[in-house]
Structure 1
Amino acid sequence: MTPPMHTANQARCSCGALGVETHAEAQFIIACHCRACQRRSGGAFGAGAYFDRAAAEVLGDPREYARTPEAGGTFRSYFCQTCGSTVFWTIDDHPELIGIALGTFETPLTGVAVHSLYERTKLDWIALDAAALHSPAGYTDAT
């Protein structure tokens, strides 16, 4: 039996110079409310879909910014050298995954499990679906 074909998920920066294409299904979506993701995204929280890194192809030449997150390890953000949009990131402790910023997808993702992390620093006016996995900090204390 032939495995099912997955539609390509395409993500691009604002100017189109940097992108990622993956033929895998998203494994999960993270809504991260930590202060570092708020700063990185310039928004109320960072939102990204995680995919099998081996199934992702980077299109273009990104610039990298590495930082140490609250949980430790190294978080590497990749952004467009022209427009500055963050398109994707990797976490050294999870080399098998690539996170792709939700707002960069050509077609919005649907039907993917959502994990809401670091809710202790979530802005009060943010309301999330009760079906999401909720955590005051990282995965270790998720409910």
Structure 2
Amino acid sequence: MPAQLTGGCLCGAIRYTVDQPISELRACHCTHCQKASGTGASINAMLPASSLTITKGKPKLYEDTAQSGRTLNRLFCANCGSPIYSQRANAPNLLVLKVGTLDNPVGMKITANIWTNSARPWTYIDPASDRHPENFTPRT
């Protein structure tokens, strides 16, 4: 895995680097992530906020009351709408990177699924991964 990961939005207006390796991913099946991503789940990596550097553009912020009831700041490209990352308002030191925005996401695997009680009936969840009917406390 490269020492520094790069990524960005669909139109290229937002670019970023991540200076921490990523191997474990989490799929969130909550109804808000389904709507925000336009898919059955949002595939994410939990990272220290300090590991992400926006190198081009400025993401737009949407403040959401998540399915958990917590305030979640969702950051995305204002031009193309690509979700980039999110942060809980009460945990600004952590962020949830949307790994579909990475340029070269090699060596990564979904190891946990959260909010599986909201998963779409057609969604495949690997039986070898951890499953949580709702949220769980992330490892950092």
- Distance verdict in 2 for CA 1:71–1:132, change over 3 Å: same
The residue type paired with residue 41 of structure 1 is: S
Kept in 1, the 8 Å contact 2:22–2:108? The answer is no
Give ranges in structure 1 of 5+ residues lacking alignment. 1-5
Aligned to 1:3: none
Deviation, structure 1 residue 108 = 1.4
Which of 37, 40, 46 in structure 2 is aligned with 1:41?
37
The residue type paired with residue 113 of structure 2 is: S
- Structure (1/2) with the larger strand percentage: 2
What CA distance in whole angstroms lies between the structure 1 residues aligned with 2:23 and 2:105? 15
Instruction: Deviation per CA, 1:58-106: give whole Å up to 9, x if none.
Output: 1311110011112232111111121111111111233221211121110
What CA distance in whole angstroms lies between the structure 1 residues aligned with 2:16 and 2:128? 29
1:94 aligns with 2:112: no
Deviation, structure 1 residue 20 = 2.2
Aligned residues between the structures = 136
Moved over 3 A (4+): none
RMSD: 2.0
Percent of paired sites with the same residue:
25
- Distance verdict in 2 for CA 1:28–1:74, change over 3 Å: farther
The alignment's TM-score, normalised by the length of structure 1, stands at 0.84
1:79 aligns with 2:76: yes
